[in-house]
Structure 1
C-alpha cells in the first residue's frame, strides 16, 4: 500500500485527499520508485481546477515530477537497477501516471539518474524547469554567446532555469517581472538586467540595454499585450518562444516588425522535447552535465510536508514564490 494523493472532483486544493492505494508491480518498460520528494508545477493547479489540456477522469492521480530510489523493475526496463537514485521527467499524461505518492510506477523513458551532488529535494525540483528552458533556448533556438534573451515571468522556476542556461551559454539574460519588488533577487540569481513591466517602458528599456541592436530571443509564458512590445525591440531574425498563456488576451503586434525584421513567433511546449526520444536524450545529457558541474542548480522556494499537499497547492496559487515548491515525502 502507498499513501497517494487522489482527486475525485475538480475544485480548490481541498479536493486533494491522501488515500491508501494498492500499487501493482511495474509493467513492461516501467520503473517503480520509492518517492522521497515531489516537485510542484503550475500544470497540476490547472488540472485540479479543470483548466488543463487533459480532462480529468475520476478518481485521478496527478503530479509530473519526483525523485527517489528504484525499488522494482518491469520487463525490459534495463536502463536502471534497483537502488538507483532517479528523477522523473514530465513526459506522460495525468490520465496515465502521476507522482504524488510514496510509491509510483513510471515509464522508463520518463526516468533519469540524477547526479550524486543533488539532494532528493533538489533533484525533484530540476528536470521540468531545466528541460523546458533547454528545449526553447538550446534545442530549438540555438542561443549563442553574447546574444540577448528576454525571459518573461523570470522569478518562476522555469524563468530561473532560463537565466542559468543563458549564463551557462555566455548569453545575456534580461529578466521581466511585474514590479520592482523582486529586482534584486533576480539580479542575485544571475539576471544581467531586470525590467518591471508595470513600472517601466519595455521597448525603450530593451533598446537601451541592447544599444538599439535588438533582442535576439524571447522566452515567455505570459503572452498578452507585452508580446507586441517585445517584438518591437527584437533584432532581425529574432525568435519569440511563447510557452504559456498566463495572460489570455490575444497577442497583437505590428506586421511591419514581423516582415521588416523577419521575426519568428513560435508556440512551444515541453512535450515537444519529452516525447521525442532523440531530443529527450540530448536534453537529459545537457541538464545532467549542467547539474553535475554546478552550473545549473535548482532554486527551491519552500518545502512542504506530504501531509500538507493542500497547503502547498494554495501557496503556489498565491504566485509569491521565487523558484520551485517542493513536497518532502520521506
Structure 2
C-alpha cells in the first residue's frame, strides 16, 4: 500500500454503467436478537442507485464490535426486525452510479465510510447501494482484505485521539483493549504522531505481540493494577490522554491514571455495566462517535491524508487477525470476534 488513491471527478459523458443491473443480491440478515446463530444469508431486493447514490460490489468486509452489540440488542440504536441488515465496513468496486454522482465512477475501488444506519444500509452482502457521501476512495495498491481493515479502525483512532483528544508528539497515551482492530490501529497512530502508547490487555498471551506492534508498555489487567502500572511507567505523573473502548466500572481506573486535568476519549462500551467516573478531578471526558465525524467532508479529507501518508511510510499497516471465506462464514467470524482471542481485524472475503 502506498497512498490514498486520488480520483478526478468525471461527467456523465465519461461514465459507463452496466446495461442491466441485478435486482436482488445475497446478504446477511437477522430476524431476531441473539448470538451469531441468528445471522442468515438470504436473497434480498437490490434497488438501482438513485440520485446521489452508488452501487458497490463488495469484495471484503471488516468486522467491528458494534455489529455484535447490534445483533444482540446492546448497541445504542436498535435493529428493525425482522430482516435487519448489518455491517459498517467494506471494500469493493463501483458498478454503477446514480444521477448527480461526480466523485466516483464504475470501476473505482472504494471503502465505506461507516456514517450510516447499518440496520438499513448494512454492508454484509454481495452488493450494496450507498449515498455518495458514505464512500471514500480506496487506498492505492491495497488488496481488498487490507483495505477492508483500514478505514473505520484508523479513522476512529485518528479522530478520537488526534482530532478530539489533541494527541501531540511526546504525549503518553493510555489505550485500553489494545488487541482489538481499533486498539492496534491506535497503537500505530500514536507512534506515527510521535506519542508513547501505554496499552492494556486482559491476559499475558498477547503481551509480546503488542510490544512488537509498538506498545511502549503493556499492562495485563487480569494480574496487574492499571493505575499502579501507569504511574510506575510515567514516573508517577500519569498520562494526559486515555483512549477507552471498554467503559463499565473499570472506567474509574482509567480516570485515576490521568494527570490532573487529563482527558479520556470514550469510543465504546464493551463492558455494558454502568460507567463509574473517576474522582481524579479535574478531568475531561469526551464520548466519541466516528460516524458523525465522518459526515464532515473536511474530516474525511484530513483522515484520508493522514492514512495515505502513514501507509506510504509504512508507519500504518492494518493488522488482520483472520480471514474467513464467504458470507456463510459470518457466524464463525462473529464467534471469533466475541472470543477475544484474536489480535487485530477480522475480515470476511465475499
TM-score bin (small chain): over 0.9
Q: Are 1:29 and 1:75, in contact at CA under 8 Å, matched by a contact in 2? A: yes
Q: Report whether the alignment pairs 1:36 with 2:59.
A: yes
2:267: which partner in 1? 243
After TM superposition, the structure 1 stretch with the greater mean CA deviation from structure 2, 118-127 or 53-62, is 53-62
Question: Normalising by the residue count of structure 2, what TM-score does the alignment of the two structures yield?
Answer: 0.88
Distance, in Å, in 1 between the alignment partners of 2:61 and 2:194 is: 31
The correspondence for 1:310, drawn from 318, 331, 339, is: 331
1:194-224 Cα offsets, whole Å, 9 max, x none, are: 0111211222211121112220100011123
Structure 2: which 5+ runs fail to align?
1-23
1:63: which partner in 2? 87
1:207-262 Cα offsets, whole Å, 9 max, x none, are: 1211122201000111233332232332233111112222233343553x21xxx3
Structure 1 runs of 4+ aligned residues shifted over 6 Å read: none
Q: Are 1:215 and 1:238, in contact at CA under 8 Å, matched by a contact in 2? A: yes
Q: Are 2:115 and 2:292, in contact at CA under 8 Å, matched by a contact in 1? A: no
Instruction: Please report the RMSD computed on the Cα atoms of aligned residues, expressed in angstroms.
Output: 1.6
The correspondence for 1:117, drawn from 141, 149, 173, is: 141
Distance 1:220 1:37, change over 3 A: same
The correspondence for 2:346, drawn from 308, 325, 328, is: 325
Q: Are 1:166 and 1:173, in contact at CA under 8 Å, matched by a contact in 2? A: yes
Secondary structure in structure 1 of the residue aligned to 2:74: coil
Q: Report whether the alignment pairs 1:16 with 2:39.
A: yes
The correspondence for 1:297, drawn from 317, 330, 334, is: 317
Q: Are 1:54 and 1:94, in contact at CA under 8 Å, matched by a contact in 2? A: no
1:170: which partner in 2? 194
Q: Report whether the alignment pairs 1:278 with 2:298.
A: yes
Q: Are 1:222 and 1:246, in contact at CA under 8 Å, matched by a contact in 2? A: yes
Structure 1: which 5+ runs fail to align?
none
2:73: which partner in 1? 50
Distance, in Å, in 2 between the alignment partners of 1:54 and 1:196 is: 32
Distance 1:135 1:304, change over 3 A: same
Question: 1:300: Cα distance to partner?
Answer: 0.5
Secondary structure in structure 1 of the residue aligned to 2:139: coil
